[in-house]
Amino acid sequence: MLRYREALGLLPATRSKGAHRRYGPDELAAVTQAMDLERRFDVSPAELAFGLRVLSEPAVAHAVRELGLRIGRIHAPRRALDFEKEKALRLLRQGR
């Protein structure tokens, strides 16, 4: 399990001088935290690893955001100018 998490990037690769994996209290606490997140949000370790990638790589974050906008899972924030434009159009329609 620890090697799998290490391969996903959920655990830092720490090695001794003899190239043996060494996991201390900090690494084991990270595994515990990751497993808690997986249970709480019903995601797999691979999904959690991808979430971390989205947070840490701007190009990936941008691509995922574009997809979310396209499929309607993310809504673009309304800009003040858009609000004013819509308000003006409503007033024009009422004046007809």
- pTM for the whole structure: 0.70
- In this predicted model, what pLDDT tens digit does every residue of 34-57 receive, in sequence order? 999 999 999 999 999 999 999 999
Q: What is the pLDDT of residues 56-75, one digit of tens each?
A: 999 999 999 999 999 999 88
Q: How far apart are the first and last CA of the chain?
A: 69
CB-based contacts of 22: which residues, under 8 Å, 6+ apart?
14, 15, 16
The whole-number pLDDT of residue 54 equals 97
49: phi then psi, degrees, rounded to nearest 5: -60, -40
The reported pLDDT for the residue numbered 45 is: 97
